[in-house]
Amino acid sequence: METAENLTADQRSRAKRDAIKSSCWGALSSVMIQDSAIIILFATILGAGDMLSMVTTSTQGIASCFLLIPAAYLSVKLGYKKSIIMFTALGALMILLLATSPWFGEWGKPVMLLSIILFSICMTAYAAAWFPLVDGFLLKEDRSEFFGVMRFSWQTFATLFCFVCGLIIGETPSIWMLQVIIVITAFGLLGRIYYIGKIPDGHQEKEKIELMDGVYETISNKPLTGFSVYICCLYLAAYSTPPLTFIYIKKYLLVPDNILIIISSLALGGTILGFLSAGKIIDRIGIKRMLLFVHFSFAMVNVTLFFIGTNTAFTLALITAMLAVYGFFMGCSSIAISTEMMELASPNNKAISMAFFGSCLAAGCGGSRLLTSLVLGSGLLAPQWFIGSMKISHYQTLFLVYGCSILFVCLLLVLVPAIFPKGNYRHMPNY
């Protein structure tokens, strides 16, 4: 198998640049679906309620949870690059179908949801092949820096795109404006295909392992399994905060749509800074302290949001700041867990090992947003209640639940190898 050590420094540098460019173009559609207020506005215009609006942001996580391991096995059989190109092309078609969903009349909402689900399945197949492909040209000591630069680049690109869209569409965007934005993101996926095609992988051998054997070997990897369980539970408690905040701002604080998109773009700026800073911070303080900072910052932000219940310039600025802080630590955690995952993955079973971790991560991410959507849709929580004279909405109740749940997940820190090493586990220096 051709590894990063067999490539020249120039080949590795070109591969890194092409991988970063592919991520920038491909990120537009994924960010729009998963992390931007654009899809929530689009769903709202089509008549979707809170429940369906949250579901539209959770489909990628749910698809990854159930399909990432089979997709990883398929990518091993097809080849990583071929798998990425094929499913990215199918994903572009699904985004175009999403853009046309208002033209289906009363079938608009089902078509919208179907196109998002199918797109999420395609992106699951893409993600299953992505990390093994990257591992083919990435040296061990370059991982944190590469992931930081890559995610900084695509998040900056996507944030600027969303910010400009927010400035253009105005306070009450028409449906055709949002359709044009969606179509642009579909063409962005063609940029991903172009640059993926330039990354060298033609000499890589396919991993010779069967699906169930690979799954069993992965589960037997206790450090990877323990870390996967912890990350799943942490994100189950923490991942719904940004989209719920956008819904809270729009439907309870009644902020105009263009301001909502600008707030979401500024909040993404925190994630960008996290991506850019994570590599250096990890080198300085290590994975252990980084994960602890991430954990308690998630809890602090949710508890703070619980106490914000009015629409003033100060509270909107505070919400934006809290989302930026949340985004910063989301960005840092993304780099930390990707680096840790590649360190813990079995060398001869990389695709399925990484897919197992990705499935656990996706179970937390998708499960968090799905549970939130079910709670909102079922009317389980009282619309409002009081602490003295302070009125609390059901959105704020969820922020409190998130914060308390994140603190409860502290009990699972004993499963994290970087914090409590076990057995034959040996971590990278300074981690």
Instruction: Supply the pLDDT for residue 222.
Output: 87
DSSP code of 101? G
The residue with tokens 């813990």 is: 344
Question: Which residues touch 190 (CB under 8 Å, ≥6 apart)?
Answer: 25, 92
What is the chain's length? 431
- Of 243, 279, 44, 34, whose CA–CA distance to 158 is shortest? 34
Q: Hey, what are 214's tokens?
A: 């690979």
C-alpha–C-alpha distance, residues 36 and 430, integer Å: 36
Beta bridge partner(s), residue 393 = 384
Instruction: Supply the pLDDT for residue 183.
Output: 94
Instruction: Supply the pLDDT for residue 247.
Output: 87
* Phi, psi for residue 391 in degrees, rounded to 5: -85, 130
Instruction: Supply the pLDDT for residue 431.
Output: 39
Name residues of the chain where pLDDT drops below 50: 1, 202-203, 426-431
Query: Tens digits of per-residue pLDDT, 171-215?
Result: 777 888 889 999 999 999 999 999 999 987 644 555 566 778 888
Amino acid identity at 367: G
By CB atoms closer than 10 A (0-12, 13-18, 19+), residue 129 is buried
CB atoms within 10 A of CB 159: 24
Segment (H or E) for 384: strand 384-387
Which 3 state secondary structure label does DSSP give 220? coil
C-alpha–C-alpha distance, residues 408 and 404, integer Å: 6
Q: What is the pTM of this model?
A: 0.77
Architecture of 4-200+208-415 per CATH? Up-down Bundle (1.20)
Instruction: Supply the pLDDT for residue 54.
Output: 63
